[in-house]
């Protein structure tokens, strides 16, 4: 398993122990089995972004601190050159680059998301998390399902939704797609 996944799991375990929360309590909070949670915490299974985001909120830490182990330091602004976001190497269906990784006390989490090409038969990986999400399609075409409703986004289209409802997406036309996702809590 990827070393980054193990490091993230260790940071989550440390935060849970500092907060004096049992594995059973955090599993119940996340609405997942103890076994699944322990697989995340032990770095045996890749943790979805939605779970990481919920844990950051639960432990009252910045999302970036869980990903990188470093606390954000900038308070006035953060400038990120194209292609220089903090890559969130996930084994999920998408690649995320967080674009505000060093800005402290943020109320939103902006991501540059790459959705790899898929075939029409590929299933859509679904997720949900607290807050709201805004998506702006930069290029390609993306099929997004929100609470059972299917929406096809093309370059320049935008969408905002309550992210507590199950949602997921996949690129269309056998081509990679890119979009800006802004998540709030």
What's the pLDDT score for residue 73?
Answer: 79
Most confident of 11-20, 74-83, 120-129: 11-20
- State the Cα–Cα distance between residues 132 and 162, nearest whole angstrom: 5
Name the token pair of 12.
């989550």
- State the Cα–Cα distance between residues 20 and 184, nearest whole angstrom: 26
Residue 104: pLDDT band with limits 50, 70, 90: confident
**Which H or E run contains 52?**
helix 49-58
For the chain, the C-alpha Rg in angstroms (whole number) is: 16
Q: Which residues have C-beta within 8 Å of that of residue 50, sequence separation ≥ 6? A: 127, 128, 129
Q: 91-110: buried (b, 16+ CB within 10 Å) or exposed (e) per residue? A: eebbbbbbbbbbbeebeebb
* Mean pLDDT of the residues in the chain: 88
Mean pLDDT, to the nearest integer, of 132-145?
A: 96
What's the pLDDT score for residue 140?
Answer: 96
Query: 153 and 159 in contact (C-beta within 8 Å)?
Result: yes
pTM over 0.85: no
């Amino acid at each position: 398993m990827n070393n980054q996944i193990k490091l993230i799991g260790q940071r989550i375990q440390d935060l849970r122990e500092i907060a004096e929360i049992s594995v059973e309590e955090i599993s119940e909070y996340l609405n997942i089995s103890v076994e699944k949670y322990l697989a995340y915490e032990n770095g045996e299974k890749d943790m979805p972004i939605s779970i990481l985001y919920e844990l950051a909120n639960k432990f009252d830490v910045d999302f970036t601190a869980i990903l990188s182990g470093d606390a954000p330091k900038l308070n006035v602004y953060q400038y990120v050159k194209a292609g220089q976001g903090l890559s969130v190497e996930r084994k999920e269906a998408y690649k995320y680059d967080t674009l505000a990784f060093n800005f402290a006390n943020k109320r939103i989490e902006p991501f540059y998301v790459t959705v790899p090409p898929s075939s029409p038969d590929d299933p859509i990986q679904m997720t949900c998390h607290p807050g709201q999400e805004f998506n702006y399609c930069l290029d390609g075409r993306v099929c997004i399902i929100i609470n059972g409703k299917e929406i096809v986004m093309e370059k320049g289209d935008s969408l905002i939704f309550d992210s507590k409802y199950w949602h997921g997406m996949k690129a269309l036309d056998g081509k990679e797609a890119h979009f800006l996702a802004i998540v709030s809590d």
